[in-house]
């Protein structure tokens, strides 16, 4: 008697597309190259003004596993939600249309989840810079490597609360039954929609963590990606909004350790980017930055945070509404090109030049390196 072969688990893939005609072919080629071939993908043409929709249709004509959904522009969150509503599969994955998948991405993720029975997988990713500075270009970000090692199976958030810092949608694979059961969806009408939803998933489910790379995150340098527009007021307001959503979920979860780790190691993780923008900001942007820092951490809540000593000082200057001092100090920090601010001879505190911050203008405890 010939026994039937076991059905291979299927992966439903959502690929939102807007203004990506330059990058979309490479994304779809990497999808077609997957060694795990049991997948179905929907490319959501989010009212794209370029040829993205036409390119997607050409790929759909070549391979019946690809379909195209043409919609009015609603933003990334809406496009993902629309794609999720129509795509089918045992598992659910999200691929941004300017990134690529390594050939074994789906095979790795499916095999891991089939073996563990977990609700979703959080894997590592490779950062690929289009125009890298000397000595950089292709690497797993160190903070990403730390969060994903050692591997975990069937974990709860209490086992590794730092993993909440892995806010990306695209390096994860979700069991579709879990996604539907928890009624997960992406926030619409804001940028940085990944964090509220991935936070909810981590708090609700059992998950696997692996240091294996399943995604290549392409860093664009043409100024069009969302992460290159952080000096705008809309960007900052959206960042505060999504941080607020994520913090509300963590607080409602009710674990004191998870909440502390989230406030100190996750929530302020990208604050340095906004602090670096202080010398070039408008008064309105400065006001929104200051209000956000005070809302989330208060005047002193960043002293125990993951921020560098220099950025903790910059944030304190913001909370004190000392704009000219903050501008002068951040300009000095930026001039160091990534080198740390000098230390005092005993190594215990920052040694800031007097022409940047006059002696006595900052309380000594604000200069010490320890929290």
| Close Cβ partners of 317 (under 8 Å, ≥ 6 residues apart) | 325, 326, 329
- pLDDT, residue 3, reads 37
Residue range 249-261: mean pLDDT, rounded:
98
State the residue range of the domain holding 330: 268-366
| The predicted structure's pLDDT at residue 286 | 98
Find out whether 14 and 94 touch, Cβ atoms under 8 Å: yes
167 band by pLDDT with thresholds 50, 70 and 90: very high
- pLDDT of amino acid 290: 98
Task: Please state, in angstroms and rounded to a whole number, the distance separating the CA atoms of residues 268 and 305.
Answer: 7
Same domain as 206, residue 132? yes
Mean pLDDT of 56-84: 98
**Which stretch of DSSP H or E encloses residue 202?**
helix 194-204
In a domain? residue 361: yes
Residue 371 lies in a domain: no
Kindly state whether residues 210 and 275 are assigned to the same domain: no
Q: Is residue 275 part of a domain?
A: yes
The predicted structure's pLDDT at residue 322:
98
* Number of separate domains in the chain: 2
Does residue 2 belong to any structural domain of this protein?
A: no
For residue 134, pLDDT beyond 60: no
Tell whether 214 and 281 lie within a shared domain.
no
Instruction: Assess whether 279 and 343 both reside in one domain.
Output: yes
**Residue 111 belongs to some domain of the structure:** yes
Q: Provide the pLDDT confidence category of residue 254 given band limits of 50, 70 and 90.
A: very high
Do 92 and 205 lie in one domain? The reply is yes
Q: Tell whether 17 and 84 lie within a shared domain.
A: yes
Say how far apart CA 170 and CA 341 lie, in whole Å: 35
Asked if residue 244 is part of any domain, the answer here is: no
């Amino acid at each position: 008697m010939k026994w039937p072969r076991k059905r291979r688990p299927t992966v439903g893939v959502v690929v939102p597309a807007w203004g990506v005609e330059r990058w979309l072919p490479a994304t779809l080629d990497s999808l077609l190259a997957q060694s795990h071939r049991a997948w179905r993908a929907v490319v959501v043409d989010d009212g794209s003004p370029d040829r993205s929709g036409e390119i997607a249709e050409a790929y759909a004509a070549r391979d019946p596993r690809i379909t195209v959904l043409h919609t009015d522009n609603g933003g990334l969150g809406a496009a993902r939600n629309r794609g999720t509503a129509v795509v089918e599969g045992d598992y659910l994955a999200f691929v941004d249309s300017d990134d690529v998948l390594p050939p074994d991405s789906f095979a790795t993720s499916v095999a891991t989840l089939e073996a563990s029975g977990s609700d979703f997988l959080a894997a590592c990713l490779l950062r690929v810079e289009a125009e890298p500075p000397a000595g950089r270009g292709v690497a797993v970000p160190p903070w990403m490597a730390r969060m994903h090692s050692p591997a975990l199976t069937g974990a709860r958030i209490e086992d590794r609360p730092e993993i909440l810092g892995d806010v990306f949608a695209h390096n994860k694979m979700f069991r579709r039954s879990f996604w539907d059961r928890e009624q997960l969806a992406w926030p619409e009408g804001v940028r940085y929609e990944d964090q509220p939803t991935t936070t909810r998933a981590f708090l609700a489910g059992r998950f696997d963590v692996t240091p294996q790379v399943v995604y290549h995150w392409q860093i664009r340098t043409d100024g069009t990606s969302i992460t290159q527009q952080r000096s705008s007021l809309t960007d900052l307001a959206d960042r505060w909004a999504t941080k607020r959503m994520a913090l509300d979920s963590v607080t409602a979860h009710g674990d004191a350790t998870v909440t502390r780790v989230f406030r100190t190691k996750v929530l302020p993780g990208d604050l340095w980017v906004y602090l670096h923008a202080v010398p070039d900001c408008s008064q309105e942007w400065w006001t929104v930055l200051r209000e956000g820092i005070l809302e989330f951490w208060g005047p002193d809540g960043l002293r125990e945070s993951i921020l560098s000593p220099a950025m903790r000082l910059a944030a304190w200057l913001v909370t004190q509404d000392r704009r000219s001092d903050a501008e002068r100090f951040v300009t000095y920090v930026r001039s160091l090109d990534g080198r740390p601010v000098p230390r005092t001879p005993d190594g215990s505190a920052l040694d800031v030049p007097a022409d940047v911050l006059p002696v006595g203008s900052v309380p000594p405890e604000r200069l010490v390196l320890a929290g």
